[in-house]
A and B are shown apart, each in its own frame.
Chain A
């Protein structure tokens, strides 16, 4: 780089990356990326999973070094030795995965590694005071002395954000900061972001919630397959533009499958409750629901509405209080998870890393895990039968992989999710329950997953899925159930509007 491009000297660019390449062996995560962060503005990076967003952010925050390329900060070339070095230059990052110590208090987490010291030790009073004011800024009623493990997920994310705010950085990178936040919390966060940009802080924002990101951003940058495909001023673009540049084509999450009649009631829940954390409270409150064979039901609700608890209770993970769970007319609530799977009731859990996949096993071993007893001939497994199933599954759920022997970690998030779904479909269920099947996967994979479910529904499978994105309610579902505080707040048919659904969930409609 002997001649600097003009934009290096542009006053409103605080940090810029030029021709950044990052290679892992033969795979190129970034293929010569030019990226600018505008001073005092929000720059949003859009892209599917595996497009290279996180890699680029890790390079900008000093977590990893680029294979080649240049980074300039305030017009001067710079090289970050590590993330502490980057932080000393005023760049901090809120990672997608929470990095809190659950046993420590909010205060201790915020000041972890940067304790305010006095000659006699840590100045806990001052730390608590600052933590308190950060909580007030974020409009969250959390006592700084509360252990983080006692907070719900959304509040933990708030703590993570507070920690990044406490550093006083010039550039703040937010990688999926709102994945666990409620709509009102997102609004507060956006207010804080506006406040920060007003003070000259530059924000880099990454989110799978495209509409939400579009509200806050000033500049949009789209990354696809390690290349920047489009850059634009936010006022010139719309959702469709982003999606078109992200996936390279128009996308459609599908519509409810038609042309057949629903069968008998496959799953019937009667008056079921699940106990809450506090004695006498219910996270699922005397709820009843019927799902017929071939029907697709979407359960929409905010974080904490009780969706996950309801679904895990049906699958046998969480004990219920009272009521009945009937599968094709048989009571299943006394059965273990394994027995329920054998009866035809399968759950695809919300957190695929924690509950869905065995990371030490191959793609094929993960796919066959739930149906493994079907391949036992005499004492031993029939490898031929198992291999057949694995190949069928890979084809049926369209997993992009080099083969069944590939490690599960080599797959992108969307393909991993397909493996989890394929694993449960291999048990030939009558009812499949999916908890946030689209969480953390890109639009393309989302559409494929929904298409797959719609096809299975046509063959008589009853499908129940939950989501926290209203756009996903209005895709393949025949019926939309809105949950709020453990109860069914409303029920809609497929022709409902987003506004109706959001209003019923108790969510303020973000204009």
Chain B
């Protein structure tokens, strides 16, 4: 009997919290409403904006930022920051380009042309290694995340420049007789008329959501980001979690790098410069707290779409790229400003006492 009353209470409190969540969602749904507003305004300003084909094109641009941002989200949930993702993105493309040109082993006198899946795996592994370096510096050697990833950002960018001597790989399509064609598939092909890049983004989004909400690792991540000391004393392997998030962020950056170089059909050593900041902006617009412990994939994806749809919209209506920069910056500041307003509201829910109530003589 007590069991059934327990479940009744449980479901009632569940209903209650659902009702509460709707109010919260309206507040928290700022990124969503901003996206709607952006779509509405640009659809009004340009006849080309509101069409399925344009949305898919824009979505494939967004995919790059969104994939970076989801990796960044994991790091930010942990209370860290990863400034190296833009460089990792660049290096990933360069490594792919380098491998596609064939690897000559002088001692054996042969040139190896790895097939595309090998290239993809190696690039992702490289991203994981960069993340591992970040993670070990931060978790084991207690280097502040900002400084560690800043240093790695320079080193990785430098390596990309060194490999190509500053030049760009333009031939990424491979040759049929060498068996290494197919790299363009990532950037140009479509499944069910949806660009592969967008599908990869969706896939990473689903995996990311499952990991965050349904695995012990996800819980550990939220816990160690919310209060590392408490998490550690609860038996959470906080160092392992920390290293893992940087590795995952590196892998996301590598995947983004592959898609970008495939879309561009070239891999340049300076690709992805300052993308880390766009990724951070997307995470922040998505409502995550830079102090860690709060945020989710849905918000981050919305954040990436807000940034991408805004900047593409500005291009479509023909506004100069200088203005685009200004607008994008404005949106970021506005988003954070609204976050601050929301938190302030929550901190002081009571209305201010009016002066006559405090007993001043009239």
Contact = CB atoms under 8 A, between A and B. Distances in A.
A413 interface: no
Nearest to B16: A402
A24 B350 contact: yes
B111 interface: no
A506 interface: no
A266 to B, nearest CB: 19
A24 B293 CA distance: 26
Contacts of B6: 391
Nearest to B17: A405
Contacts of A71: 358-359
Given A66-B353, A355-B229, A391-B6, A381 B359 contact: no
B353 A361 contact: no
A354 to B, nearest CB: 6
Given A25-B349, A357-B230, A381 B214 contact: yes
Interface in A73-109: 77, 79
23 contacts: A1-B359, A18-B359, A66-B357, A68-B353, A69-B357, A70-B358, A77-B361, A315-B233, A317-B232, A338-B236, A341-B234, A358-B293, A359-B227, A359-B293, A360-B289, A360-B292, A369-B219, A369-B223, A372-B220, A380-B214, A380-B215, A402-B16, A403-B13
Contact of B230 (A355, A375, A376): A355
**Closest 6 pairs between A and B when the two form their complex, measured CB to CB:** A70-B359, A360-B293, A360-B226, A403-B13, A358-B226, A338-B235
B235 A427 contact: yes
B140 interface: no
Interface in A331-351: 336-338, 341-342, 347, 349
Contacts of A18: 359
Given A67-B350, A379-B215, A342 B358 contact: no
Interface of A: 1, 18, 22-25, 65-72, 77, 79, 315, 317, 336-338, 341-342, 347, 349, 354-361, 365, 368-370, 372-373, 375-376, 379-381, 383, 391, 402-403, 405-406, 423-424, 427
Interface residues of B, number: 42
Contacts of B358: 65-66, 69-71, 77, 79
Interface of B: 6, 9-10, 13-14, 16-17, 210, 214-216, 219-220, 222-223, 225-227, 229-237, 289, 292-294, 349-353, 355, 357-361
B203 to A, nearest CB: 16
B23 to A, nearest CB: 12
B222 A360 contact: yes
Contact of A65 (B225, B353, B360, B361): B353
A24 B223 contact: no
B299 to A, nearest CB: 15
Nearest to A341: B235
A364 to B, nearest CB: 11
Contacts of B216: 372-373, 375-376, 381
B234 A65 contact: no
A77 B227 CA distance: 45
Contacts of B222: 358, 360-361, 365
A350 B16 CA distance: 34
Given A354-B227, A355-B227, A359-B227, 8 more contacts: A67-B350, A317-B232, A337-B232, A354-B229, A355-B230, A358-B226, A359-B293, A403-B10
Given A338-B236, A376-B215, A356 B230 contact: yes
A406 B14 CA distance: 10
B67 to A, nearest CB: 22
B359 A355 contact: no
* Interface class of chain B by DSSP: helix
B294 A77 contact: no
B16 A347 contact: no
Task: Select the residue from B16, B222, B235, B289 with max chain A CB neighbours within 10 A.
Answer: B235
Task: Select the residue from B214, B231, B234 with max chain A CB neighbours within 10 A.
Answer: B234
Contacts of A376: 215-216
Contacts of B210: 380
A402 B19 CA distance: 14
Contacts of B236: 338, 369
Task: Select the residue from A69, A372, A402 with max chain B CB neighbours within 10 A.
Answer: A372
A69 B293 CA distance: 39
A70 B356 CA distance: 10
Contacts of B9: 403
A370 B215 contact: no
A22 B350 contact: yes
Contacts of A361: 222-223, 226, 293
A375 to B, nearest CB: 8
Contacts of A368: 219
Nearest to A405: B17
Contacts of A406: 17
A347 B232 CA distance: 11
A52 B357 CA distance: 20
A484 B34 CA distance: 62
A424 B249 CA distance: 32
Contact of A338 (B14, B16, B237): B237
B193 to A, nearest CB: 31
Contacts of B355: 79
Contacts of A66: 353, 357-358
Contacts of A391: 6, 10
Task: Select the residue from A358, A405, A423 with max chain B CB neighbours within 10 A.
Answer: A358
A352 to B, nearest CB: 8
A413 to B, nearest CB: 15
Given A67-B350, A357-B227, A376-B216, A369 B359 contact: no
Contacts of A369: 219, 223, 231, 234, 236
Contact of B227 (A79, A358, A402): A358
B235 A67 contact: no
Nearest to A340: B235
A358 B353 contact: no
Nearest to A376: B216
B152 to A, nearest CB: 27
B350 A23 contact: yes
Nearest to B231: A358
B235 A360 contact: no
